[in-house]
Amino acid sequence: MARNEREQEMSSAERRRRMEARRRRQREQERRRKKKLMLLIGGGVAALVVVGLIIFAVIKLVSGGSATIASKSGSFVIAIDPGHGGEDVGKSNGGTSEKQVTMDICEKLKVMLEGQGCQVLMLREDDTRISKEDRVQKANEAQADLLVSVHCGYSEDSSSSGVVSYYKESSKQSANLAEMIETAVVKESGALDGGFQEGSYHIISDTEMPAVLIEVGYISNGDEAVSLADDSYQNDIAKGIAKGIIMSLEKNE
């Protein structure tokens, strides 16, 4: 029997009941559709929140607590000095050269500091030899808030290893910076703690801001030379330096 014929044989009450049942099914279908849509939207928002929390956690990991750090007059200017460059290779061991290690670490450090809102001045930006005088002048003219110069250690005793930090003579702020960098680098990398002490290097003595020269490991040590060329280890070193710098800036705000 055709549908129209069946409906004609129904009573008015039966037709109303069927129409009401049809409306209820439609309302239920609409409710389920809206619920699915809200779940999808909620899931998308949750995913964005998770991503945001991950990003914040990475920033917090480097900063040691604060999301970004800025001076009262704007961003801090941090001068980063990758030691050696060009024909000035520095020391080397096997396939590991000091000029490449320092550049790799400083490039990683630059990204980390910029992620904290700092302005980073690279005193050497590529594989070019730059004189000590030009490096000092560049940092002073930029009126950098502080300077960190990165080098590798070397010893005739191939068993010597570890991280050593040198700071500007008679500068309490430089000494504090050296202590914070040394502590953070040792913690992040697991390297031997060689301590921190006054140094008379031109790059920290002749610049006008608090300054530290850090030797991130002995390239004369075969095992340490291999580590210094490793991307993951370089990242740990850079993270430690970044943490030390950020902690120093927070302390002196």
pLDDT, tens only, 69-126: 555 445 899 999 999 999 999 999 999 999 999 999 999 999 999 999 999 999 999 9
pLDDT in tens, 140-189: 999 999 999 999 999 999 999 999 999 999 999 999 999 999 999 999 99
Token digits for 29? 């279908």
Using the 8-state DSSP alphabet, how is residue 192 labeled? -
pLDDT in tens, 196-220: 999 999 999 999 999 999 999 999 9
pLDDT in tens, 15-60: 666 666 666 666 766 777 766 666 665 655 455 544 454 444 444 4
Token digits for 85? 């460059």
Q: Measuring CA to CA, how many Å separate 140 from each of 43, 77, 145, 226, 231?
A: 51, 11, 10, 35, 31
Taking the mean position of all CA atoms in its chain, how far away is CA 140?
A: 25
Give the up-direction half-sphere exposure of residue 188: CA atoms within 13 A in the CB hemisphere.
24
Rounded to 5 degrees, what are φ and ψ at 106? -70, -35
Give the up-direction half-sphere exposure of residue 70: CA atoms within 13 A in the CB hemisphere.
8
Query: What top-level class would CATH report for the domain 71-252?
Result: alpha beta
Confidence at 67, pLDDT banded by 50, 70, 90: very low
pLDDT of residue 75: 87
| Closest to 70 (Cα-Cα) out of 118, 142, 122 | 118
Look at 1 and 81; give whichever has higher pLDDT. 81
Sign of CA dihedral 243, 97, 213, 207: negative
pLDDT of residue 54: 43
Using the 8-state DSSP alphabet, how is residue 36 labeled? H
What is the percent of the chain with per-residue pLDDT over 90, rounded to a whole number?
69
Look at 209 and 251; give whichever has higher pLDDT. 209
Cα torsion through 170, 175, 176, 181, rounded to 10? 160
Do the strands 163-168 and 211-218 form a parallel or antiparallel pair, or are they unpaired?
Answer: antiparallel
Confidence at 251, pLDDT banded by 50, 70, 90: confident
Answer left, alpha or beta for residue 74, where phi above 0 means left and psi between -120 and 50 means alpha. Answer: left
Domain residue extents for the chain:
3-47, 71-252
Q: Measuring CA to CA, how many Å separate 142 from each of 78, 120, 208?
A: 9, 10, 10
pLDDT of residue 35: 67
Count CB neighbours of 166 within 10 A: 24
Using the 8-state DSSP alphabet, how is residue 67 labeled? S
